[in-house]
Structure 1
Amino acid sequence: MKELSMHILDIAMNSISAGSKLIEIIIEESNNSNLIKIIIKDDGCGMSDDTIKRVTDPFYTTRTTRKVGLGIPLLKEACERCNGYFNINSEIGKGTTVECSFERDNIDRAPVGNMGDTIITIINSLNNCELLYNYSTDEKSFVLSTLELRNILGGADIKSNDILLWVKEYINENMKNMSNY
């Protein structure tokens, strides 16, 4: 995948499929430690120990519509190629946490990408689920919470085109104002 945002989207869609009620996406970008760290947590159905061992195999998938599952294996390979790490923890009935890192200035690291488009795609796919997005650098951070947004909107449809466009612009504007972006 050409952007880290596409890996994030893939993992978040897995979380939605797992019946999550809350998905947390945390991106920490640091010049000081030369690191980009991504954490995606959910409270979905979780995975067995056997599934966790097999999930990085591109020829393993739990989907019945195809015989390969490339998202997680490609993310793991991208992390390792950039002197980072990949870790997945999961417990049945409790949820899953995917944590990975990339050497920030590594020539092979993909750009973070268009997080505005990624977040609105996730929001548009949510059903009875909330999203908490937190992006931080050494100096600044910002958070978008769909629960907080729903409370502010007071009943307006969070998936309406006008609101999704605003969310996209809000994320892109905040990320542009971050010193490392």
Structure 2
Amino acid sequence: MIRVNIQQQVLHFIVFLVIQIPFLYKLILFNSAFGFFYIGFILFLPYALNRSLTMVIAFLTGLIIDAFSNTPGIHASACILVAFVKDGWFNLMMGTSDDDVYLDWNELKVWGSIKYLLPLIFIHHIIIFTVENGGFNSFGFLFSKILYSTLYSFIIVFGLSFLMAPKARRI
């Protein structure tokens, strides 16, 4: 059975949002890489947490980002999809169904983080930028924006997961 440390989850929520909201549209690399690293909070929600609860948390997280970025529902819908598929994707990539898995750097390490985080961040960014663009117009620019933003967000989420992991188990 999974044990959820609510205080730790609230701290993670605050850390990801405090980092995301002030820098939402200020940290843009080369006019094509946007850092949406709040998605890390959803990706690191405890494994096997009730799916409905996970989706409600993802919706509220996306809604808060939508409120600050003036995007009506784009982030909320992308977060809901990621929350819906994250446990299934973890099972597929890691080949485990143990309920006592903690989704942090200590559990995933480098290769596990790449296999778990990168595709889900890519899906999140596809939804955001495709809806924002109004479809697949200017496909080359849209794809480069998705790709560069995914890499940028992955680096930030990976770094934050390393920094937030308990130091005693980090080795």
Structure 2 length-normalised TM? 0.30
Specify which structure has the higher proportion of strand.
Answer: 1
Specify which structure has the higher proportion of helix.
Answer: 2
Structure 1 length-normalised TM? 0.29
Q: Which has the larger radius of gyration?
A: 1
